Structure 1
Amino acid sequence: MTDTGTDAKQGSYVTAGSEFTRDTDYITTRITATGAGQDEYPVEADRYRLVVARACPWANRAVIVRRLLGLESVISMGMCGPTHDERSWTFDLDPDGVDPVLGIPRLQDAYFARFPDYPRGITVPAMVDVPTGAVVTNDYRQMTLDFSTEWTAHHRDGAPDLYPEALREEIDEVARRNYTEVNNGVYRCGFAGSQESYDAAYDRLFTRLDWLSDRLRDRRYLVGDTITQADVFLFTTLARFDAVYHGHFKCNRSKLSEMPVLWAYARDLFQTPGFGDTTDFVQIRQHYYIVHSDINPTQIVPKGPDLANWWTAHHREQLGGRPFGDGTPPPPPVQAERVPADHAAPQG
């Protein structure tokens, strides 16, 4: 089976007897500082729109990085709803179901504006060129790295260095292993088409989570003493673990809240501006339990788990580290981009 897990693509996610394989053939066009390379667009303020869905962990990464770096004033953001049909993510949260900047009801319209016969899944996040209405890239990993390295002229004062040059090799290696075993590993569990493939994915997932617990036992962050892209990449999976992956994807050896080190690490990040305030638990549950009807045919969305414990003390500051290095926390999100209070973890 080949699919992206959070794209809009006709057909079942689970194929009996097969192992889940993610389609990683993304649009590799980049937006760079000069735009001088082949198949590159130039960095320009107010030219591009980042289209996301809060439910999607890959899109959530881009939302967090954009906010930490202060790119809200130069890259606008369009938000799709938590569910999609077999054709496309849709702008059903907007008045009349149309994105107010791009003027389209479906994200597929931006893909087709550049590739009329685009054959693959319509994925978020996607950067769209507003003047032409055409998608530029949906390569979520490179997109967030480019936010750090190519958009520096537009970073806010006090923006953290999420991808420090001296640590990039280690960040890339840690993030690569986390992707194969954890970020994508939960999907390989959930969309496994055989007992054998599920068992293998399950064992690989929890072996890596145990490794991460050991690594983070005496260090606050994954690489170095500040938040990096590696932490952002891992956080969006951990934030969904108890709400979705533990039950819906059968990743049920332990809840995140039963893994003390990872649970404290996740709470530390969640309570850091830019992380928890971009996490919409209602949309997360709606997406997985409604869209994946082959796993959850009733499409009943669970009410739990209780979210208040995300705000309990984590004591990770005792390990040292400086979340933003020499930088500063981002300001509160603008009103239009705030997660509704009834979709967020309640503070005591």
Structure 2
Amino acid sequence: MPKVELHCHIEGAAPPDLVRRLARKHGVDVSRLFDEAGDYAWSDFSSFITAYDGAAAVFRTREDYAELAETYLTASAAEGVIYTEVFVSPDHARRTGIPYEDYIGGIVDGMRRAEAAHGIVGRLIPLIERHFGPRTAVEAAKTAVAHLIPEVVGFGMAGDERLHAVAEFAPAFMIAHEAGLPLTSHAGEVMGAESVRATLDALPVRRIGHGVRAIEDAALVRRLADEGVVLECCPGSNIALKVFDRFEDHPFKALKDAGVIVTLNSDDPPFFWTSMGREYRIAHDHLGQSEADLVAVTAAAIEAAFCDDATRARLRARLQGHEPAFPRG
């Protein structure tokens, strides 16, 4: 089944073996980054962010990032993924010391190699790291719009949703918006429905990263449906981070049944022991989605992608034959 991903953090897609190998190459101590089984060690959202930053710190060169992107897209293509948008971070590039043009250039190099070998298309969404604060966010936005290569298709915000009021980031988002970039922002993951509402009120976003806590407010759910705001849902991540206790408690189906446009995504796959293939299996086995439903989810993700019209047409063509009536708009 063709799959489309709209929500994945590129450093969060780094397999532990690749991180360990690059740590040895660059002399980075990652002894506390992994548990006894060799997986990433974290216990809650705060320690997850620490582990994420630790993994990101081993990527130091353009070729490091090319290898990361090629590795992730190749593995995704093997599971049927035809298109993926990955989040990239000007802040991580700055903190690691790699020039931003080499950072995104390496990722694009890897994406092109994966596309040539496997047909998967990759695009980039630079984002703000919320926990670094509003002032740093403005600098990240300026960096992003100064390097608008064709593969950069949007702008967003991730990081610790508990820190800073979302309205404080409006100046940074306006820089990207005025540059013509469509917008997304994480909200309604570790914080509740009010976080989603505040984001919709403060920022001209087309999509919300996660957004699943909107289910706590029926009026907000209606607003999402009425305004056509797309949710980048990540069920595996939500269960791993204990946003919900069980897959059966996840509101994916309830949101979809209420008319909200929902998509499936892996977020930070090796951190949460998942992949795009697993996310679709979760939706089928636990979230009440038939195979036809899942094809419709892919179709919705194609329409919600921030890519250009020509790329969207290519993706639609690749889905034809899996669904007789393709939704538009």
TM-score range, shorter chain: 0.3 to 0.5
Larger % of strand: which? 2
Larger % of helix: which? 2
TM-score for the superposition, normalised by structure 1: 0.34
TM-score for the superposition, normalised by structure 2: 0.35
Larger radius of gyration: 1
Higher relative contact order (CA 8 A, sep 6+): 1
